[in-house]
Structure 1
Amino acid sequence: MSFTNYNVPYPINESYKTKVAYFSMEFAVHQPLKIYSGGLGFLSGSHLRSAYELRQNMIGIGILWKYGYYDQARNQDETLQVTWMEKHYSFLEDTGIQFQIIIHDHPVWVKVWYLNPETFGTAPLFLLSTDVPENDYVSQTITHRLYDANVATKVAQFILLGVGGAKLVDELNFNPDRYHLNEAHGVSSVFYLYKKFGNVEDIKKRLVFTTHTPEEAGNEKHDIYLCQKMSYFCGLGLDEVRKLTGIEDDQFNHSLVALRFAHLANGVSQLHGVVSRLMWGKYPGVCPIISITNAQNWRYWADKQLYRFMEENNDAGWDDRKRYLKRRSFEIVADQTGKLFKPDVFTIVWARRFAGYKRADFLTRNKERFEKLLSNKQYPVQIIWAGKPYPMDYPAINEFNSLVNLSKKYNNVAVLTGYELTLSKRLKQAADCWLNNPRVPREASGTSGMTAAMNGAVNFSTDDGWIPEFINNANNGFVVPKGDYARMNTQEQDDYDLNKIYDMLEQEILPLYYNQYDTWRSVAINGMRDVRFRFESGRMANEYYQELYK
């Protein structure tokens, strides 16, 4: 196919004819394409799938990571081992496009690969790589590891996504009406566009931005002199950069610059929109921030048979299917850990990216109540943990390893490795209860519970991210009532949440599951119905066109 005057290769729905180039550091479109780390990728993967289903005029622009994020393996004692395996993808097409960009005052060759929409049912996805023989070794390593720990390499990756992505759009002659930055990693594109258009107005009317980070410290900042040295500003002098961006100190704040160059931005839940407006409102020149709540692709994630039994009001069929899904998932538990879990035992799953505020080991912090929960004969429980810590986040890796060591004492506790799309889906099918206990309001959206609900798991969560828009307590899930968090220190907040979680498990959730299973099933089914109605990514992809790209 021709990539010289590129058009999206399927008929466009008239409602979605605005041309959009969608930049993201990671895309989780399907298990075989391992170029993602967590929630940001799951979100952009679902977005591309729904864009395809709705026939939207959108292309994705990302990076082809040679070693992916990393492969999660085990040491001899079952603790976490970070391994780097080279990836090969026969299903990606060589576009024949190769061009140069400047990184660190040095021309770097960029090669472009293409994921055809028909391959996995997504909007077209272009992936940039510097791993070509024309580049020196250092330049080749730019696209080796997603979120490389080396600061200079990371800045180079941001330049590749932003400047390289914007240049690719020109190479394709795609001429987008909107450049959509999914997180601020690609904000270097604004300096490329400034050189192209010669003014800020032309950038502003085209640029929109999605922020995912609900606290200032979590937003990427880099030394402005390092950025200058790395050619981040496309040859602009620092005085001009400061004038254009309004950055006065020596920290280049990527999100703040994105908010100043975009004409509109969005947070990824109603609550996150509120938090973001408060957080960024004190800075001058920031664009309006609306809310478009994240969602996940039903066609990819949901168990269709569970839905069919739900629609037929076939309770016996639904129970039988859920039991089968649990049994099948427990084969993975047995394979990895040698433990035989039982499909008729209440199963709690905590699985997502390991990060401090998500409190992976939360249940274990009250040893007495944890012990009591695991040894309860009347209401037996099984617990599964899984998730990938960032490979250089040693506190998170220690947390993972301490859970592994703890699990060795119990036949009904398992910690799994290899948390990617396929295992994620299996664990959602394994779960009766999908546990989510971030420290409020640190979770911008936290979409894992959406896909859990699509597989018959009941959400049990602190009241953060998308949860306030979804859970009606004891009707379609369970939610920890918000405490007066503003007056609490971190320890008090943790104590409050943990006590509430245990109280609700012991007094409400476990008795309901074991003594009134019909009611439990109806909670799960209400969750399935509500999540499809309001948190399916078709709704989200439509809202992006109606509200952000308009």
Structure 2
Amino acid sequence: MISKEEIFGYTPDPKYNKAVAYFSMEFAIDQALKIYSGGLGFLAGSHLRSAYELKQNTVGIGMLWKYGYYDQFRDMNADMKPMYVEKQYAFLQDTGIMFTVPVHDSPVHVKAYLLKPETFGSAPLFLLTTNLNENDEASRSITYRLYDSNEATRIAQSIILGIGGAMLLDILGLERDIYHMNEGHSLPLNFYLYSKFQNLDEVKKRVVFTTHTPEAAGNESHRYDLLKEMSFFYHLQSHEVKHILGMEGDYLNYTVAALKFAHKANGVSKMHAEVARDMWKDNKGICDIIAITNAQNKTYWKDEKLEIALAGNSDAAIAARKKEMKKDLFKVVADQCGKIFDENVLTIVWARRFAGYKRADLMMRDWDRFIKMIFNSKHPVQVIWAGKPYPEDFGAIEQFNQIIRRAKPLANCAVLTGYELGLSALVKKGSDVWLNNPSMYREASGTSGMTAAFNGSINLSLPDGWVPEFAVDQVNSFVIQPATQGLWNDETNHIEANNLMDALENVVLPMYYEDEKKWHAIIRKAATDIVPEFDSGRMVDEYYGKMYN
């Protein structure tokens, strides 16, 4: 059996000695470990990196996805094409532990691998796989694809993560004081814990929950009868679950159930915590929802040379390093798109998960105005888009491809594929402006702008998610004026698209080309303001102080 010393490789700081298991469906630890899709994984990866830096007594529980999320390529017309390629990871340690988890009342074999802390500088992470010869094909496929579109497979993934992860900790003899659910995917772990303690209060004092989704419809739910059939409730019957949690109806909402199992929960920004409290307030027996704003690990994301330039307070050194970082990004633009970008030209980047509410094409809404800006010789501009839509979200894929087609004839516009940690770092370091224009109140937190600010890229953003806690217009960021609440979506989109273009044409572009001193003052102020408040060291310390203790 693998020892506790072998798992951690370090002695936890007494300040963080309370033992925590952090459950997440995805972790973005390193480019080489492709088990993540987007922001949730980026957050979980930074959490484990900062937990390691602070020597917290935390272990991660995740899944070893055979094909990852998906690999993003282009078809023969240069449109986006998802592909599934088997991954191999020689750096993971086979723990030798295999056990069975009931799924559909049948035993599914599960094997555990360990990502040791010294490999990438993270708290230890156990990864579970069902891709084993001992399983039939249906059971093996549970850990093939992150967020599989098949409902039964998705439910089975939650069972393996939640029940399988809790069982593994018991097999290891790794007693945990706290089980932290990062989003509701690992909900079944609560039914496993209930079977152990036979008491809701005993479960509650051990469980905390982080909710990420600010819309009721976006929170996962499934029929009780299907969940029971799938063994989601471990040894409980549907009527027992309803009685224990005081729930009714035909569908179990993961978030509501998690809020009833946990002794405390958190939203991922101050704004989101308010939205979440209002969203779930009519459900009796839910726990308090506080705010712990998401953050990112600066040690991982920062550029060392830019850090030295910022510390030296030298505009010339900052400008020189930014140009070098832009050149690195522009090599990828040339390679993928056959376009040569100029490091002396203002470069705007929109890059994140492609979802309709994030409005990747908002700049293009008034096409004539967009084209006029693109061909403005006085204040030239370059624009880059990147990101991954969910492979079954055909609306988002079409939006992605529509941007590709519209950008194709424009020599100063590019759409990049393969948006993972490596490309994410390049576009943050190589951008001058980091554009964020979601529909208001739909971005629970968002963290990409934090890592952009680490790297001398100025946020141009609507005041949603984490942004109101940071942004001061023309001091450390550029803030897009939101439309008045209560308007029709089309009217809101029209107003906010105009406000975005007004900000670019009247403030951002003129400042970049005509007031370099002010531009660099904003870069320096952003770099000062972003740390420590939006470094994940603050976040993981806050979890111990406000959630675990």
TM-score normalised per structure 1: 0.99
Contact 2:142/2:153, CA 8 A, preserved across alignment: yes
Q: Match of 1:186, as an amino acid?
A: S
Distance 1:304 1:269 in 2: 28
Whether 1:235 aligns to 2:232 is: no
Residue of structure 2 equivalent to 1:393: 393
Q: Match of 2:167, as an amino acid?
A: K
Residue of structure 2 equivalent to 1:67: 67
How far 1:235 moved relative to its partner? 2.4
Distance 1:467 1:203 in 2: 35
How far 1:5 moved relative to its partner? 8.9
Contact 1:5/1:173, CA 8 A, preserved across alignment: no
**Secondary structure, counterpart of 2:532 in structure 1:** helix
Q: 1:330 to 1:229 in 2, by over 3 A?
A: same
Deviations 1:208-254 (A, max 9, x none): 00000011011001111111110101121111111112221111100
Q: Match of 1:543, as an amino acid?
A: E
Deviations 1:316-345 (A, max 9, x none): 111111000001110000000000000000
How far 1:536 moved relative to its partner? 0.3
Deviations 1:412-446 (A, max 9, x none): 00000000000000001111000000001000001
Residue of structure 1 equivalent to 2:483: 483
Contact 1:6/1:172, CA 8 A, preserved across alignment: no
How far 1:480 moved relative to its partner? 1.5
Distance 2:468 2:127 in 1: 36
Residue of structure 2 equivalent to 1:338: 338
Deviations 1:253-311 (A, max 9, x none): 00100000100000000100111111011111110000000000000001121111111
Q: Match of 1:245, as an amino acid?
A: L
How far 1:112 moved relative to its partner? 0.2
Residue of structure 1 equivalent to 2:533: 534
Residue of structure 2 equivalent to 1:118: 118
Q: Match of 1:344, as an amino acid?
A: N
**Secondary structure, counterpart of 1:474 in structure 2:** coil
How far 1:489 moved relative to its partner? 1.8
How far 1:313 moved relative to its partner? 1.5
**Secondary structure, counterpart of 1:534 in structure 2:** coil
Distance 1:4 1:113 in 2: 15
Distance 2:320 2:451 in 1: 20
Matches within 5 A, 1:271-420: 271-420=271-420
Residue of structure 1 equivalent to 2:512: 513
Q: Match of 1:528, as an amino acid?
A: A
Contact 2:222/2:253, CA 8 A, preserved across alignment: yes
Distance 1:257 1:214 in 2: 16
Quick check: 122-131 or 490-499, which moved more?
Answer: 490-499
Contact 1:101/1:107, CA 8 A, preserved across alignment: yes
Deviations 1:494-544 (A, max 9, x none): 112111111111111110000001111111121111112310000001000
**Secondary structure, counterpart of 2:531 in structure 1:** helix
Contact 2:8/2:116, CA 8 A, preserved across alignment: no
Residue of structure 2 equivalent to 1:209: 209
Deviations 1:344-367 (A, max 9, x none): 001000000000110011111111
Contact 1:6/1:174, CA 8 A, preserved across alignment: no
How far 1:4 moved relative to its partner? 7.6
Q: CA RMSD in A?
A: 1.1
How far 1:477 moved relative to its partner? 0.5
Contact 1:265/1:287, CA 8 A, preserved across alignment: yes
Residue of structure 2 equivalent to 1:525: 524
How far 1:7 moved relative to its partner? 6.1
Distance 2:528 2:240 in 1: 53
Residue of structure 1 equivalent to 2:41: 41
TM-score normalised per structure 2: 0.99
Q: 1:339 to 1:7 in 2, by over 3 A?
A: closer
Q: Match of 1:67, as an amino acid?
A: Y
Contact 1:28/1:35, CA 8 A, preserved across alignment: yes
Distance 2:88 2:413 in 1: 35
Distance 2:312 2:8 in 1: 39
Residue of structure 1 equivalent to 2:53: 53
Q: Match of 2:186, as an amino acid?
A: G
Q: Match of 2:226, as an amino acid?
A: L
Q: Match of 2:453, as an amino acid?
A: A
Contact 2:20/2:179, CA 8 A, preserved across alignment: yes
Distance 2:347 2:167 in 1: 49
Distance 2:397 2:211 in 1: 26
How far 1:6 moved relative to its partner? 7.5
**Secondary structure, counterpart of 1:235 in structure 2:** coil
Structure 2 residues not aligned, in runs of 5+ = none
Residue of structure 2 equivalent to 1:254: 254
Distance 1:501 1:81 in 2: 30
Contact 2:29/2:49, CA 8 A, preserved across alignment: yes
Deviations 1:177-209 (A, max 9, x none): 100000000011111111111111110000000
Matched length: 549
Quick check: 314-323 or 389-398, which moved more?
Answer: 314-323
Deviations 1:451-475 (A, max 9, x none): 1111110000011000000101000
Contact 2:379/2:513, CA 8 A, preserved across alignment: yes
Contact 1:4/1:171, CA 8 A, preserved across alignment: no
Q: Match of 2:288, as an amino acid?
A: P
Deviations 1:4-34 (A, max 9, x none): 8986331111110000000000000000000
Contact 2:21/2:59, CA 8 A, preserved across alignment: yes
Matches within 5 A, 1:390-469: 390-469=390-469
Contact 2:2/2:172, CA 8 A, preserved across alignment: no
Distance 2:20 2:493 in 1: 42
Deviations 1:364-417 (A, max 9, x none): 111111111101111001000000000010000000000111111200000000
Contact 1:92/1:113, CA 8 A, preserved across alignment: yes
Q: Match of 2:92, as an amino acid?
A: L
Contact 1:357/1:439, CA 8 A, preserved across alignment: yes
Quick check: 312-321 or 345-354, which moved more?
Answer: 312-321
Distance 1:291 1:542 in 2: 14
How far 1:68 moved relative to its partner? 0.1
How far 1:488 moved relative to its partner? 1.2
Distance 1:462 1:225 in 2: 42
Q: 1:246 to 1:18 in 2, by over 3 A?
A: same
- Give identity over the alignment, percent: 52
